[in-house]
Amino acid sequence: MHAAGPGSFPATRLRRNRQHHWLRAMVAETTLAPADLVWPLFVHDHAAPLPIAAMPGVERLPIEGVVRAAAEAVTLGIPAIALFPATDPALKTADGAHALDPDNLVCRTVHAIRRETGDRLGILCDVALDPYTTHGHDGLLVEGRIVNDETVAVLCRQAVVLAEAGCHMVAPSDMMDGRVGAIRAALDAAGRHDVGILAYAAKYASAFYGPFRDAVGSAASLGTADKLGLGDKKTYQMDPANALEAIREVALDVAEGADMVMVKPAGTALDIIHRVKTTFGLPTLAYQVSGEYAMIQAAAGHGWLDGARAAAESVLVIKRAGADAVLTYFAPVLARALFARG
Ligand code: PBG
């Protein structure tokens, strides 16, 4: 008798299972379904959609446009959307106070979506100050430093405002220390026990957020900060060199009460997604960010690769690495293709 384990050629021929489409489908270890996708949407306070130069196929939408997209998400079987406001520069301040206005754009958008889709679609809202600060940072800038604990106090209030507007989960993307536990306590104190926390637990200081920062208008603000030597987020977002530190970040967020954790970006952190999933076994999301989308769209636009196939493959492998769901700008395109196939 042969010992259990891998066989050897010529009795074993791994190509045998790859001969036909039905056979490959039967042995596929990972599959993609609309339920695996979260659709990030940009909202702005103008009547017409506005394209985003570095993200062909993605637009900043008026509230009604986002509501229509939300309804389509339900039809397609996409479980949730993530909302990002492009704030009118006139409403930005050094302290980002507009984040706390219950009548701000993102809150009005949440209300409008809830009227349309109720609890049939998850609405996730970012908790961070970058859409609202004149310097484009996620936190409060005091004497050239992003101050942690003072920022956390504001983020707690922002999370409660978003919860009261009706979002289902808040997603702190700011990378301050201790914010998950503080936000959990603030939500509970406000009676919002049902509102979950998706922690951007391992978020790297990445070059791949560039197109997003253009889309929400924080790039220009950070550009101003750059002149003062404050133009990057490296004092709070993680160094891409580090993996063990990502595990510590996730461990803290889990201990503080995160319901789900996120790794971001996705394609340059497949190893981290895998480690996080296998270490904690928690619902683990990954964010295929704007720059990852832009790279594929740019190459596809030049005819250098097959955009539809590249998009599907890039998201599938994020799932294979261990993600339970993927935030991706390809969500509607992928879901439509999967939907059409039945
Ligand atoms: C802001 C935030 C960013 C993204 C999501 N939330 C940008 C940043 O940290 O500067 C990036 C998403 C993307 O690039 O698609 N806190």
For residue range 96-142, what is the model confidence (pLDDT) as tens digits? 999 999 999 999 999 999 999 999 999 999 999 999 999 999 999 99
Hey, what are 186's tokens?
A: 């603030």
pLDDT tens profile 256-269: 999 999 999 999 99
* Cis-peptide into 332, omega within 30 deg: no
pLDDT tens profile 289-336: 999 999 999 999 999 999 999 999 999 999 999 999 999 999 999 999
Q: How many angstroms is it from 204 CA to the middle of ligand 1?
A: 10
Q: How many angstroms is it from 21 CA to the middle of ligand 1?
A: 38
pLDDT tens profile 50-88: 999 999 999 999 999 999 999 999 999 999 999 999 999
The CATH number given to whatever domain includes residue 49 is 3.20.20.70
- Whether the pLDDT of residue 1 is over 50: the answer is no
> Is residue 21, in this structure, part of any structural domain at all?
no
> Is residue 186, in this structure, part of any structural domain at all?
yes
* Nearest residue by C-alpha to atom 2 in ligand 1: 173
Query: Ligand 1, from 130, 137, 232, 285: best to mutate by most atoms within 8 Å of Cβ?
Result: 130
Q: Where are the beta strands (DSSP E) in 16-116?
A: 37-44, 50-51, 59-61, 80-86
Give the active site residue among 203, 233, 277, 319: 203
> Is residue 323, in this structure, part of any structural domain at all?
yes
Ligand 1, CB cutoff 6 Å, lining residues? 126, 128, 130, 138, 173-174, 209, 212-213, 233, 289-290
Hey, what are 339's tokens?
A: 């939907």
> Is residue 27, in this structure, part of any structural domain at all?
no
> Is residue 6, in this structure, part of any structural domain at all?
no
Give the active site residue among 92, 227, 234, 264: 264
* Cis-peptide into 265, omega within 30 deg: yes
> In 3D, which of 84, 66, 46, 65 has the Cα closest to residue 289?
84
* Nearest residue by C-alpha to atom 7 in ligand 1: 209
- Cα–Cα separations (whole angstroms), residue 39 to 35, 59, 73, 85, 211: 11, 13, 8, 14, 16
* Nearest residue by C-alpha to atom 14 in ligand 1: 209
> In 3D, which of 310, 265, 311, 319 has the Cα closest to residue 35?
319
Distance CA 104, CA 118 (A): 20
pLDDT tens profile 148-172: 999 999 999 999 999 999 999 999 9
> Is residue 78, in this structure, part of any structural domain at all?
yes
Query: Ligand 1, from 41, 173, 314: best to mutate by most atoms within 8 Å of Cβ?
Result: 173
Query: How much is the pTM?
Result: 0.96
> In 3D, which of 269, 210, 217 has the Cα closest to residue 96?
217
* Other Cβ atoms closer than 10 A to 20: 9
Q: How many angstroms is it from 35 CA to the middle of ligand 1?
A: 23
- Tell me the Cα Rg of the chain: 21
* Nearest residue by C-alpha to atom 6 in ligand 1: 173
Catalytic annotation present for 92: no
Which letter does DSSP use for residue 238 in this model? B
* Ligand 1 atom index nearest CA of 327: 15
> In 3D, which of 136, 90, 99 has the Cα closest to residue 230?
136
Per the structure, the complete domain to which residue 116 belongs is given by: 32-341
| Run of H or E including 170 | strand 169-172
The count of domains in the chain is: 1
Catalytic annotation present for 203: yes
